[in-house]
Amino acid sequence: MATEVLVPVLGESITEATVGEWLKQPGDKVAADEPIASLETDKVSVEVPSPVAGVMGEHAVKVGDTVQVGALLATVDAGGAATAAPTPAPQPAVTETPAAAPASAAAALSPSVRRAVLEHGVDPSTVTGTGKDGRLTKEDVAAAASSKPAAAAAPAPAATPAAAPSAGGRKEERVKMTRLRQTIARRLKEAQNTAAMLTTFNDVDMSAVIAARAKYKDLFEKKHGVRLGFMGFFVKAATMALKDVPAVNASIEGDEIVYHDYADISVAVSAPNGLVVPVIRDAQNLSVAGIEKTIGDFGKRAKDGTLKMDEMKGGTFTISNGGVFGSLMSTPIINPPQSAVLGLHRIEERPVVVDGQIVVRPMMYLAVSYDHRLIDGREAVTFLVALKNAIEDPTRILIDL
């Protein structure tokens, strides 16, 4: 008996998604609650589990298709493990296996892995996947390409004539934007069109925080089970500065200003399909250790694709750390309906004047972009100076000064 697999409820106000990847192909054995497909929503990838154990039936939609909540994705033949397997077994099909295997394997690849396969000219059916449930990753493809013997490059031209009609080897590739990337593009443009956005800068001497981290990082990790990073200091310092300058933590709804007596800090985290922004709830009540634990958990689950929708909703203020990628200075864009965002950048030694003497200190540029409709320049600068003071003298964080 065939059981229908429908697009599940994806979260409040989310009505559709894009089919990102098929994790099971027709004829594959499927266990109850085993993921069979991955859907890309506006914010995260969601895996769809099989409601029953059996054999994967036909796919009702293709990778890249947009599907509505409640729509049919596929069918699963409950208890039919022995019926689907014989279908591809006839002997005459043996001669077609070399061509058919890559086609079926390619159908199950994510867009990024599919691009890597094309770039490296690797047959995905010959590569063992190390990802979740044996899925192929970009690293698997790169490793297979680097280990290919020189002689193995000969068969590749057979598959590439269509991609290399030009003698100069110039190629173009068109890849449909993921749903997440489309949403990021739309929201960032909306922010530019709606907010009266302005950015103010300052720099901060990281000497004290670096010294504290060096002194206590081993004890910190031993006690709390998580590494002591810089984000814990910045998030805690930001919550204190937001308390001093509540306008930076506010938002505009219609003709009203909404002030929040809590600090839900959105933190940009890298995920396979781009940046996601989970929210640290009530960060003002957390210790530096609690903040670091929360961020570490977000980072791990972002890479695994297991962040939940509710964990990325809301947020009253955002911190984005472009410094981990080497950024020296930037003007971050507000994440609506928030009214401000803090941009952190790389730490580098620079000459500065201290007590009339030129000394070398580890410095970082800070940038706060804000909605000038709500936040005055004085308030933005006051917030940034309060943050700078707390980072340069971390004792302020301990005594709430």
- The two structure tokens encoding residue 347: 């730490």
- How far is residue 138's CA from residue 127's CA, in Å, rounded to a whole number? 11
Q: Which of 234, 219, 225 is nearest to 300 (CA)?
A: 225
What stretch of H or E contains 321?
strand 317-321
Residues 6+ positions from 314 with CB-CB distance below 8 Å: 264, 279, 281
- How far is residue 275's CA from residue 268's CA, in Å, rounded to a whole number? 6
35-40 sheet: strands from edge to edge: 45-49, 35-40, 16-22, 66-68
Q: Look up 393 and say whether it is catalytic.
A: no
Label the pairing between strands 348-354 and 274-276. unpaired
Please, what's the b/e burial string for 121-139 (b: 16 or more CB within 10 A of its CB; e: otherwise)?
bbbbeebebeeeeebbbbe
* Phi-psi label, residue 89: left if phi above 0, alpha if psi -120 to 50, beta otherwise: alpha
Catalytic residue among 33, 310, 376, 393: 376
Residues 6+ positions from 259 with CB-CB distance below 8 Å: 246, 247, 249, 250
- How far is residue 312's CA from residue 44's CA, in Å, rounded to a whole number? 9
- How far is residue 102's CA from residue 63's CA, in Å, rounded to a whole number? 16
State the sign of the Cα–Cα–Cα–Cα dihedral 290, 292, 295, 299: negative
Beta bridge partners of 320: 343
Catalytic residue among 65, 304, 372, 393: 372
Q: Which of 43, 6, 52, 99 is nearest to 268 (CA)?
A: 43
Which are the catalytic amino acids? 372, 376
